[in-house]
Amino acid sequence: MKKLNFLVILVLFLVGNSAFAQKFGYIDTEFITSKMPEYKSVQQKIEQKTQAWMKEIDQKQEDLSKLERELKLEEVLLTEDLKQQRQNQIKTKEQEVINLQNKIFGPEGELFKAKQAALKPILDEISKAVEKVVRAKRLDFVFDKASDGLALIYTNPVHDYSDYVIEELGIELDPNIADKAKDNKK
């Protein structure tokens, strides 16, 4: 009888622990987007914009090179004031080219903004699909293996312990946020 009770308790313990196990999953956004025709269309549009911007920058570089060549050819004939004026003009053009490159290809440049705006609907669509799959498969965490390292793209809010950490640090929450947090924990 004692063995039977022990086995029943052991089975209940093991089943109880597995019922609370967290489920993980991963997706590959590169693979997903490669199968989406909208993504290919967006990539082509971005490539066309990039080529147009490159032509514009190349033209400015060419103009700058032309000014430098002209200065070298006429340098002997120019007065010191004219030479200085041309050098300043060249420096101004160089700065214009650098500013244009940064404006277009910089970290917060036009290319970045264009990609972000164009890809947002596609990424929103993928996000909605991930939400449906997460709910259907009852996953707690989903990673994206296409990112550098594994990027966490979904977490079940039940596993968010930020409020506890804030409480442990002795930081007061805004009363509206604190009430909301208490409601979420119930």
Whether 70 and 34 have beta carbons less than 8 Å apart is answered as no
Beta strand segments in the chain, E: 24-27, 141-144, 151-155
User: One digit per residue, pLDDT tens: the chain, 186 residues?
Assistant: 544 444 445 444 444 444 556 788 888 888 888 888 899 999 999 999 999 999 999 999 999 999 999 989 888 888 899 899 999 999 999 999 999 999 999 999 999 999 999 999 998 998 889 888 888 888 888 888 887 767 878 777 877 777 777 887 888 877 665 555 555 555
Q: What is the pLDDT of residue 24?
A: 81
Phi, psi of 28 (to 5 degrees): -125, 95
Cα(121)–Cα(98) distance, integer angstroms: 32
Question: What are the boundaries of each domain within the chain?
Answer: 32-137
